[in-house]
Amino acid sequence: MKQGYTIVVFAILLWGIGSVVASAQVAFNIRYYDKRIYYVSDAPIYVQVTITNNSPVPFRFKLADERAFSIDFDVRTMTNRTLEPAAILIRKRSLQQVYFREISVESGESFSFVEDIRNYADFQQSGAFIVQAKMYPELYRDAGGIPGVRPLESNRLSLSIRPPAIPGPDGLPVEMDVETNAVLVREKLPPDEVVRYLLTARQKSQWEKFFLYLDLEAMLARDAVRQRQWLAESEEGRRRMVARYRMEIQKATVNDDIVNIPIEFQIERTTYNEMEGAVTVQEKFRIGTITERKRYTYHLHRKDDIWTIMDYSVNNLGTE
């Protein structure tokens, strides 16, 4: 019995040593998933977390279903003051049961996922901040419980939070161009140029520009359930619906085919009259090792001399 116990303990020690060796050669990096201008609001600040195994052996760690038990974000002001944890983080970490899965990252491979920093830090004021992440291979609440297993520390990101955005004529915040810091204004572009603007913005992951010529209210009305809800809402409620719908599109939980990123596109045909127009575009998407072709037809309408996209349809053309 004593010999069996010794073997088990020795195996655990070997596993721990292997983890320490692997951890020393594991790169833990963070970057902005969709870099944009951030304001003091509840809009997400998405960061992509990537674990890259540069060691010759597999790197294994526990990934909790509730990511707050696997990762943490240290957000500090320029005077080195740590921001208070977000209320939702405190609630999550009060859970008694933690469900997780074992992840094995082979040598030379990477593993990534996306997190919202606002779920970890409470941003009450605008300002400049420094962000660093920590990943706990043996879960957050067990940190330090296993000798030699230390959290992985990421690179640091600079983060600028601006005061609340200026509301526009429709009550929604005015969008800013990330590249120039200038206010984005709809211009009197013809229908084909509006579509080109949208697709180019998507290729560059410029969400502000992507949404600039989308008529989200008209797109909402395509769904009968949403339309009934829209009619029943107050003016404030409708603004919240539009903001929520925009976020759902950005997360690809609705209208996911319009946010697919084309590797290339070609405008095939443009037709329009005084008030309505349609632009047909062939778009190509990389899916693994194959290229998928689709034909999109964007429907636009004109209001106050500005063309905006109000609907679209998609046809699959096969692969190449």
Instruction: Tell me the pLDDT of the chain (320 aa) as tens digits.
Output: 444 444 444 444 444 444 444 456 889 999 998 777 787 876 788 899 999 999 889 999 999 988 999 999 999 999 999 999 998 888 888 877 888 999 999 988 999 988 999 999 999 888 899 999 999 988 886 554 454 467 899 999 999 888 765 554 444 555 656 555 566 778 889 999 999 999 999 998 888 889 889 998 888 877 778 878 887 888 778 878 888 888 888 887 878 888 899 999 999 999 999 899 999 999 999 988 899 999 999 999 998 889 999 999 999 999 88
Q: What is the pLDDT of residue 120?
A: 94
The SS3 call for residue 168 is coil
User: Widest CA span of the chain, in angstroms?
Assistant: 89
> Torsions phi, psi of 54, nearest 5?
-100, 5
CA atoms within 13 A on the CB side of 306: 11
Residues 227, 230, 234: CA angle, nearest 5 degrees: 165
Q: What is the pLDDT of residue 9?
A: 41
The answer to whether 220 and 229 have CB atoms below 8 angstroms apart is no
C-alpha 43/C-alpha 210 separation (Å) is: 16
The SS3 call for residue 64 is strand
Angle separating helix axes 235-250 and 224-232, nearest 10 degrees: 150
> What residue spans of the chain are helical by DSSP H?
2-24, 87-92, 191-203, 207-212, 216-220, 224-232, 235-250
DSSP letter at 222 equals T
DSSP letter at 82 equals B
Neighbouring-strand partners of residue 216: none
Q: What is the pLDDT of residue 235?
A: 76
Q: What is the pLDDT of residue 5?
A: 43
pTM score above 0.85: no
The SS3 call for residue 217 is helix
Q: Which of 240, 246, 178, 244 is nearest to 209 (CA)?
A: 178
C-alpha 177/C-alpha 36 separation (Å) is: 8
Residue type at 48 in one-letter notation:
Q
Which run of H or E residues covers position 312? strand 306-319
Q: Which of 250, 248, 260, 245 is nearest to 316 (CA)?
A: 260
| Burial (0-12, 13-18, 19+ Cβ within 10 Å), 277 | buried
Number of H helices, E strands in the chain: 7, 13
Catalogue all structural domains in the chain, each as residue range(s) with its CATH number: 25-162 (2.60.40.2360), 191-319 (3.10.450.50)
> Torsions phi, psi of 35, nearest 5?
-55, 130
C-alpha 250/C-alpha 246 separation (Å) is: 6
- What are the tokens at 180? 């120039």
Cβ–Cβ contacts within 10 Å for residue 53, how many?
22
- What are the tokens at 246? 């925009």
Sign of the torsion angle spanned by Cα atoms 92, 93, 94, 96: positive
C-alpha 210/C-alpha 36 separation (Å) is: 12
C-alpha 156/C-alpha 179 separation (Å) is: 21
Tokens 């072709």: give the residue: 293
Q: How far apart are the first and last CA of the chain?
A: 63
C-alpha 84/C-alpha 21 separation (Å) is: 34
